[in-house]
């Protein structure tokens, strides 16, 4: 038999979406500073795949040898977030990661925007 936890009265918690977002922003900034050269190389790799208009994930950047391993796994998020802000990619779907190191966990899959594809056509 499975029993559920029953809470008799509302609890006061420290849940704060604003504080959570601020902590995320601070963490992403720190991750981006670990290796500025890797970050620049990753941005170029994302732009390259985005220009093809195909769905991709972080593992594809390594598989295609467009960028090496990051100094820390948390370095991926800020790079993809920056590409979204630059208008180069958008979220396409979720799927399993191709990276064995993360045990096929769920990850974002991205696709290049019209802006990214236009940059390829102009080149």
* Per-residue pLDDT tens digits for 61-73: 999 999 999 998 8
Distance between CA atoms of residues 90 and 59, nearest Å: 17
Handedness of CA 56, 57, 62, 63 (dihedral sign): negative
Structure confidence by residue, pLDDT tens digits, 97-106 = 988 777 888 9
Helices 76-85 & 36-51 angle (0-180, nearest 10): 50
Distance between CA atoms of residues 82 and 40, nearest Å: 11
Distance between CA atoms of residues 42 and 76, nearest Å: 8
In terms of phi and psi (left: phi > 0; alpha: psi -120 to 50; beta: otherwise), the region of 87 is left
Structure confidence by residue, pLDDT tens digits, 21-55 = 888 778 777 766 789 999 999 999 999 999 999 99
pTM: 0.78
């Amino acid at each position: 038999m499975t029993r559920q936890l029953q809470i008799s009265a509302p609890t006061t918690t420290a849940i704060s979406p604003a504080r959570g977002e601020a902590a995320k922003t601070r963490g992403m900034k720190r991750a981006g500073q670990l290796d500025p050269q890797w970050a620049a190389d990753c941005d170029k790799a994302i732009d390259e795949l985005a220009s093809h208009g195909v769905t991709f994930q972080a593992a594809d950047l390594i598989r295609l040898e467009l960028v090496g391993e990051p100094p820390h796994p948390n370095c991926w998020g800020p790079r993809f977030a920056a590409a979204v802000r630059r208008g180069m990619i958008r979220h396409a779907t979720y799927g399993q990661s191709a990276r064995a190191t993360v045990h096929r966990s769920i990850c974002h899959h991205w696709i290049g925007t019209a802006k990214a594809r236009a940059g390829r056509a102009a080149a």
